[in-house]
Amino acid sequence: MPLRRPPSAVVAGGRVAVADAAALAAGVRAGQKLSTALGLQPGLAVFERDAGREQQALDSLACWAGRFTPTISRQPPATLLLEIGGCRRLFGGTEAIVAAALAGCAEQAYAVRWAVAPRPLAARWLARAGGGLAVDAAGLAAALEALPCTVPGWPAAIVDRLESFGLRRLGDLRQLPAAGLRRRLGHAPVDDLARAWGELPDPQAAFVFPESFAIDLELPARVEQAEALVFAGQRLFAALAGWLDGRQLLVRRCTLCLRHDDGPPTALALNFAEPAADEGRFRRLLREHLGRLQLRDPVEALRLQADELVARPGESGRLFAQAAAGEGAPACLERLRARLGEGAVQALGEAADHRPECATRGREAVFDLGRFLPSTAGTELALMGVGTTAFPAASGPSAACPDVVPPPSREDRAGPVAGGPASLAGAIGRHRPLWLLPVPQALAERGGSPHWHGPLRLLSRGERLESGWWDEGEGGAAGDLRRDYFIACNPQGQRAWIFRDAAGWFLHGLFA
């Protein structure tokens, strides 16, 4: 959404500082008195110039520009200098960097004038003159000589004196003796000319990326629909992505705080399945969250803060070009969480308990640079990947059940213990079902044999599981269990995990 409704203008000291396209079409120009602008466009929306907000916007853009180069210099109130000499090969040339920078500014609704030159001051003057020009060292002098003397922004007294001398362009000024110009104009204009032409050094104060990231964005109008905050949020996440590039970091968790007119702010937590720094991924996740958010009060300001950061590991480039990867599991998990809620998407981890219903625990599904966290890596991968058993899959009612099944080994009978993921994966992959019923289902018994869609034939010897004496009688606990488990098969070829205890036969799990 546009931050200001056209036509609009920003004024300072009773005069127009800048106007949007609609106001310009009505004849409003920078430098006009406010009364004149209102006479030309009675419906003009007027906003007072706010130096603090301009500084915040410049800082935000400087953070965003960190994706192109780590060497950035701010020139208040509205200029950024990017040193791209060492980055051109990385991005594929000057034209590619310029195109990407202009596209990013357009996405954030910034109007820019740009220029590329070997000298910082020369680039600023060329951009101020109209921009859209990239010159090398050979063509720099000719480009500067054609600029009007008003471009450097010298005091009005100096400009008036140059006009009285009949000097209109910087090329004419450069032809005069420097000593005479210093006596008549002072040292500053002559030194500026020398720096622009590269005759004097021109060091720039480097922008230092802040140690932590927290940026505020004040909205010029109250927003009542959460989806209308997408555009403003994109500005903040664009700055976050650039800051992460500049600091060589990745973010795992951040918070978007929505400030209201009255009442406490709304904190929108964005958790990433793996550390990330991709702006497009940030935008997609933001849209998902805002699409399901109901605002209790209008929003007047936003604040984005990076809460959990990790160092970005080094990567080697690929020798040969490869196809672009898809969305991937981490991004898919993030979108599911945004749509279903944080607690609705979990991974499985092991618990040190022999009882099947107590042997797993739901845990947050978190990736670490494409892998699960080391503390639960093997366990979660084993639990989420089981889908095979030691038996061939049944193809229909005529599928025959195997007559001979090896008995479970001592390690398999031990069940899920805290000994390690490898032993657990072996036990689950061979003699544990993929699907465990939430509550065991009682089975009918006919002639001493259990029935489930027909008589069940036992395929294995009994496996005794007896455990849980420590929580017997506690509310919600499984308690002390004494069960004999069997793998069985019905006439349709379906394989089940059943057990018998003092109460009879029960179905507890199904094999894939």
Q: What is the pLDDT of residue 3?
A: 46
Q: What is the pLDDT of residue 225?
A: 87
Q: Could you identify the residue written with the tokens 């003796």?
A: 177
Q: What is the pLDDT of residue 189?
A: 93
Q: What is the pLDDT of residue 419?
A: 30
One-letter amino acid of 202: D
Under 8 Å between Cβ of 499 and 440: yes
d(CA 497, CA 435): 10
d(CA 226, CA 222): 11
pLDDT tens readout for residues 446-469: 888 899 999 999 998 888 888 888
d(CA 6, CA 220): 13
Q: Residue 366 belongs to what H/E stretch? A: none
Cβ atoms within 10 Å, residue 502: 6
Q: Residue 292 belongs to what H/E stretch? A: none
One-letter amino acid of 81: L
Q: Could you identify the residue written with the tokens 């944080």?
A: 342
For the whole prediction, is pTM greater than 0.75? no
Tell me if the bond preceding 407 is cis, omega within 30° of 0: no
d(CA 209, CA 244): 9
Specify the DSSP class assigned to residue 362.
E
One-letter amino acid of 466: E
Q: Where are the domains of the chain?
A: 8-49, 214-311+328-336, 346-385, 410-510
Mention every residue, 6+ apart, whose C-beta is less than 8 A from residue 13. none
Mention every residue, 6+ apart, whose C-beta is less than 8 A from residue 316. none
Write the CA distances from 313 to 52, 65, 181, 275, integer angstroms. Answer: 36, 21, 55, 11
Whole-angstrom distance between the N-terminal and C-terminal Cα of the chain? 50
d(CA 292, CA 353): 39
Specify the DSSP class assigned to residue 152.
T
CATH topology of domain 214-311+328-336: Dna Ligase; domain 1 (3.30.1490)
Residue 129, helix vs strand vs coil: coil
Specify the DSSP class assigned to residue 198.
T
Closest CA to 433 of 505, 381, 510, 356: 510
Secondary structure in 3-state letters for 435-503: EEEEEEEECEEECCEEECCCECEECCCCEEEEECHHHCCCCCCCCCEEEEEEEEECCCCCEEEEEEECC
d(CA 111, CA 242): 19
Which CATH number does 8-49 carry? 3.40.1170.60
d(CA 496, CA 95): 65
Tell me if the bond preceding 77 is cis, omega within 30° of 0: yes
Low-confidence ranges of the chain (pLDDT < 70): 1-4, 315-328, 342, 365-430, 473, 475-476
Q: Could you identify the residue written with the tokens 């395929």?
A: 459
Q: Give the pairing of strands 266-276 and 249-260.
A: antiparallel
**Structure-token pair, residue 156:** 């009005």
pLDDT tens readout for residues 381-438: 222 222 222 223 333 333 445 443 333 333 333 333 323 332 233 333 357 888 888 8
